[in-house]
Structure 1
């Protein structure tokens, strides 16, 4: 299967993508909008109320008896009005007003609170003053209008003497305003809402662009065309109960592993691989627990399963399953023991586990050796399916080497842990060696309440109606089956199938009897009601 680059699939952003981002990041949008609105409210409450008082004057030309003279005078005043509005805020007008009213400020400071404007195509001038006190604002407007009238009359008086040709008349006195002009609370709230929404949406889009973590199937599809064959939900108690299929078989996570088992059984049905490598990109994504629970699910379905712990860097299968891990894969590969002497039965007898053994100094060389190829060939001829837990792909090359020797690889992706570029690098590492990528398993995916089929989350009950509580411990399936034997039939399990191998068994004295195939080292195979002969 061909992988795609980490950035592919995002070149064209459609409306649906934006709607998805808004649904995904709605909390951030709401929070930023609320903060912006709260800021607008705070600014409005903290701002000092300002009042504006306005007076209006009319500019006219004196004299002129004919229509022509009156028209010329009217045009003259309109042209002069623009100059007069600029004079209204000059020190020539404001200086005497400051002295008259005894204000403790400069003309430049007062000019910042005075505005003069003229309606279009009129000879009217509006003089407005803003002040914290409405009465002072009105008094200042009237005083400026009076001084403005005197200044214009003086400026327009001819040098030869006589009356000024321009007459300024006050047509509207200023009145003390009853309501402040600022702050405008409604306008501030509207602006805060718009600014908050803009910031929230922008922040949500920016986070989505910068956040390259894999969260689900959609993010996997942006990187590779490989199918997602399983999605395991997030469970905060997963570290305390790693073998969820055994400890809580009716939980959502256990059912997810059974769905994964079903998908594995139908992978490439015409050419179904008998050996599968399970790996991940980085440590901590849950590849080992995924491998173990999948193996248990396959064994519960009646398949003969061999589980190999080929993570020779940080082996964990034996610890999770409560088995002896001192001898195992490395012991077989170096020729110190036969596989039938060290492989250990677990559960109902259909699952056999080959621990890692001692950690070698050359893991990659051992896993890529002819001895490993021969071992896989032997196990695939004996079991229905062989699952191989390996080290992560990015730190070391062990998984890529083994993927070439097996039928394919299943890549476990830890939701919210792995980034898309890291997933693309892992897919590329497998494709470089020509390995088959059978599918991707998204692990620890956080699901919403509506995504779960809670109707089917049943727990086993006894005939009295009391729920059956699984016993504590990692290897409690025998006690669990004993407590639930009145509820449903189970396969019998021998005591030997639950116990770790003893010292005599490590030397090959008796473990061969649990080997599901023909005796490979000449040891006898005693009959066992839970074993099946090879097909």
Structure 2
């Protein structure tokens, strides 16, 4: 780890460091308070030799004393010295036990011996120190006395021990300081360890540690997103909306010559915000005036229709099984250039349907009709749908949820796309904590107010505008012709006949909303033509509606024809559907 990494650890894990510091100081303080106070008393003796008055005698006596003083210091803790002390003071201890509390030291280049006694009783410690000094002088005199003579060595007490006023241990100030330092080191070590073992994706640096793919945008976290998912429309001046405009710009520069026409928005695992990213990206692209279609290809847990307030019962799956024309199930969204293709009903075989030839032809048809096609796909790791869809489009946009996935999952998700030879356009780091997103997100005042305004009235208006469109799509998917034409001549006559008038709403029906055709012009400019599809007559016998709408999904996924409509192909700008 470099110095910058340690600074990052301190900034992110400061709570761990502070916790270690507080715990270390508290532990040291508590241990010092509950510990038994120990008092220390000291006495000091001087060792000398009786010699003559000549210089030679003085030198010899000094040399002798310096050689012998070490031995005298060792004699202090011997039973010969301590036994008389025990007897004198009436101690209930053995010489060996008393020796643990008595120490002797010699200051450098001196003939002094310092006797130190430690104990819980301050008065007793002073008495033991003084008694030990007296006993040492007595025993040395007896040891150094020649037969029938006088001892040349004399030990004199130069400082008697006094009763200590304060305990020598524990030293609360010193112990608390040492505990604080140890706790600080412990907290720092735990923070570094946790940072090393933590593989969650939280910042751009975490993404760069896994892959060299470009992070096209960083979107900050907002707890209000579930209530206001379309923040690009509701809070256009917020930094999060600006992040999607940056994403739009980066996507435009990925391929300057040909551009990106169709892209899949996916993630590694659920709950990373891929559908929210797809919806807001589509809105941002539509703000430029380009015709954009948002396709909900998450055939397992569709959510685009709910986010946009649209009818989702008919949609992609309805068109894939041939129960409705593609143009009839695409719903315009308000007065924008955004169109939405909901998922329709959840099929029993979504993976097979996602990888079918019909799905590829549908995507090609949408690409030829709209400027940009944004496909919301399921997560990569649980299912294979997104990998199949990514290969059929110009590339995949990977959404990485901060604090949601780890590095191994991100690496596995990217490897899944690379395994099918799908192009990875880049990554969007979503739900990043504001403090981790960088200084760019600190300029909220520059972008204006960021409070989200409720979009429910607008979404209700959009729902009313598209209600008639959705009902017509359902009727087109469920009704069949009353009778078949008798022969080819009658079919030709039917081609030249004018279209029948629209059915009159019953009294109990909802008020009829303004349709796309009424907004754009006469009947010749119906939504089918607005999407670029050429109207065509239906020939051949009437097609029965399956008993279950998904009986044909398996046939579509397998490339077979369940209804045997060999004589009535549908004409599309991109070629026949099947």
Structure 1 length-normalised TM: 0.83
Aligned equivalents of 2:222 and 2:60: distance in 1?
90
Partner of 1:517: 531
Post-superposition offset of 1:441: 0.5
2:97 pairs with 1:101: no
Q: Which residue of the partner structure matches residue 67 of structure 2?
A: 79
1:443 corresponds, among 422, 425, 430, to 430
The 1:58–1:384 alpha-carbon spacing in structure 2 relative to 1, beyond 3 Å, is same
Query: Paired residue for 2:103?
Result: 115
Cα shift readout 1:317-369 (whole Å, capped 9, x = no counterpart): 22222322222222222333321122222222412211222323332222122
Task: Kindly state the Cα deviation for residue 188 of structure 1 after the two structures are TM-superposed.
Answer: 2.3
Residue 427 in structure 1 maps to residue 441 in structure 2 = no
Q: Distance in 2 between matches of 1:409 and 1:290?
A: 13
Corresponding residue for 2:553?
none
Q: Is 1:227–2:241 an aligned residue pair?
A: no
Deviations 1:394-413 (CA, angstroms, capped at 9, x unpaired): 11221111111111111001
Distance 1:26 1:112, change over 3 A: same
Counterpart position of 2:499 = none
The 8 Å contact of residues 345 and 498 in structure 1, kept in 2 or not, is answered as: no
SS of structure 1 residue aligned to 2:413: helix
Quote the Cα distance in structure 2 between the aligned partners of 1:504 and 1:477.
20
In structure 2, what is the equivalent of residue 273 of structure 1? 260
Q: Is residue 408–residue 437 contact of structure 1 (8 Å, CA) maintained in 2? A: yes
> Partner of 2:12 in structure 1?
24
Q: Say if 2:387 and 2:416, in contact at 8 Å, map to a contact too.
A: yes
Report whether the alignment pairs 1:502 with 2:471: yes
Q: CA deviation at 1:259?
A: 3.0
* Post-superposition offset of 1:65: 6.1
Aligned equivalent of 2:444, options 443, 446, 454: 454
Deviation (angstroms), 1:111: 2.3
Rounded to whole Å, the distance in 2 between the matches of 1:494 and 1:520 is: 27
Partners of 2:419 and 2:200 lie apart in 1 by 24
CA distance in 1, matches of 2:202, 2:389: 27
Q: Distance between the aligned counterparts of 2:298 and 2:9, measured in 1?
A: 39
Q: Do the aligned partners of 2:327 and 2:531 also contact (CA within 8 Å) in 1?
A: no
Question: Against the structure 1 CA distance between its residues 373 and 511, is the aligned structure 2 distance closer, same or farther, given a 3 Å change threshold?
Answer: farther
- Counterpart CA distance in 1 for 2:468 and 2:79 is 103
Give yes or no for contact 2:81–2:136 (8 Å, CA) kept in 1.
yes
8 A contact 1:21–1:204 mirrored in 2? yes
Deviation readout 1:77-100 (Å, 9 max, x if unpaired): 333333322221233322332332
1:476 matches 2:476:
no
Matched, 1:149 2:163: no
**268-277 vs 84-93, which moves further:** 84-93
In the alignment, the residues of structure 2 paired with residue 77 and residue 14 of structure 1 have an alpha-carbon distance, to the nearest angstrom, of: 60
Distance 2:164 2:268 in 1: 72
CA distance in 1, matches of 2:458, 2:250: 27
Match of 2:120 in 1: 132
**3-state SS in 1 of match to 2:206:** helix
Paired with 1:178 and 1:412, the residues of 2 have a C-alpha distance of 71
SS class of match (2:114): strand
Matches of residues 376-415 of structure 1 in structure 2 within 5 Å? Answer: 376-415=363-402
Matches of 2:98 and 2:256, distance apart in 1: 89
Tell me whether 1:195 sits opposite 2:194 in the alignment.
no
Residues 1:101 and 1:514: Cα distance change in structure 2 (over 3 Å): farther
| 1:262-341 mapped onto 2 (5 Å cutoff) | 262-341=249-328
Normalising by structure 2, report the TM-score. 0.78
Matches of 2:394 and 2:30, distance apart in 1: 66
In the alignment, which residue of structure 1 is the partner of 2:79? 91
User: What does residue 4 of structure 1 align with?
Assistant: none
CA-CA distance at 1:261 after TM superposition: 2.8
**Superposition map of 1:41-52 within 5 A:** 41-52=29-40
Q: 2:469 and 2:367 mapped to 1: Cα distance? A: 24
Unpaired runs of at least 5, structure 2:
478-501, 503-514, 518-525, 538-572, 574-578
What stretches of structure 1 of length at least 5 have no aligned partner? 1-12, 461-466, 480-492, 524-533
- The CA distance in 1 between the partners of 2:139 and 2:468, in whole Å, is 111
Q: Could you tell me how far apart the structure 1 residues matched to 2:16 and 2:75 are?
A: 52
Aligned residues: 490
Match of 1:353 in 2: 340
State the SS of the aligned residue for 2:43: strand
C-alpha deviation, 1:383, in angstroms: 0.5
- The Cα of 1:422 is off from its aligned counterpart by 1.3
2:170 maps to which of 171, 183, 186: 183
Whole-angstrom distance in 2 between the partners of 1:494 and 1:195: 64
Following the alignment from structure 2 to structure 1, what is the Cα–Cα distance between the partners of residues 534 and 407? 46
Distance apart, 1:421 and its partner CA:
1.6
